[in-house]
Structure 1
Amino acid sequence: MSRIRRSVFVAASLVPVVAFGFWFQGMGNVDGQTPYRVIQVQSGDTLWELAGKHGDPGRDVRETIEVIRNVNGLKDSHLMPGQKLKIPARVKEEARND
């Protein structure tokens, strides 16, 4: 195989590997290792308030609300006092900068 053909072959082989890497990184943490904290709903609490207070400040509150609804099997945004919710734990700022 000529040198040029080999270079083209190697480059063409790396493109799918790099594309898969970007795709996989964009999936987020899908291996079940996402840290959650459990909070107890108080009277007057809303998903928006809880997502803003306990969620990751680097994430859009609407995304956090969607995660909370999915993880807890909520059909709507109605909360009951005393209800326990899993909320994605905040990412520490120093960990985000690494």
Structure 2
Amino acid sequence: MTHRYRISSRIRFTLFVVLVILLITTCANFALGLNTANSATYIEYTQVEVMSGDTLWSIAETYMDDDSDIRRSVYELCKINDITASQLQAGMTLLVPVN
């Protein structure tokens, strides 16, 4: 004699299935160690005085890695120093990451 279960509320059943899948995913995440955070990398900076005729592009070319994207390097310089390219003036001191 087999007893068949009847789903009385599709919404409750769907919610139950979603919660079970979420629980299984969370447990698998913890079990596999996917929740471990990487430690922050230490970035060393150097101070560079802006000379007449310098641009963010030329400073980035001088101090950044050869294999890095120059546009990304200019963006990072602007972000680190809280400036835009138009605000760059001779005599300013910029923090430049040393790679």
Q: Same fold (TM over 0.5)?
A: yes
In structure 1, the gaps of 5 or more residues are 1-11, 91-98
Tell me the matched-pair count: 70
TM-score, normalised with respect to structure 1: 0.60
Tell me which residue corresponds to 2:6. none
In structure 2, the gaps of 5 or more residues are 1-27
TM superposition shift of 1:39:
0.5
Q: 1:35 to 1:42 in 2, by over 3 A?
A: same
- Which residue identity is paired with 2:68? R
TM superposition shift of 1:58:
2.8
1:38 is paired with a residue whose SS is: strand
TM superposition shift of 1:57:
2.0
Tell me which residue corresponds to 1:66. 75
Larger radius of gyration: 2
Among 85, 91, 95, which residue is 1:82 paired with?
91
Superposition misfits of 4+ residues, deviation over 2 angstroms: none
Cα deviations by residue, 1:34-53 (Å, 9 ceiling, x for unpaired)? 11111110111111111011
Are residues 1:54 and 2:54 paired?
no
1:44 is paired with a residue whose SS is: coil
Residue 40 of structure 1 contacts residue 85 of structure 1 at CA under 8 Å; is this kept in 2?
yes
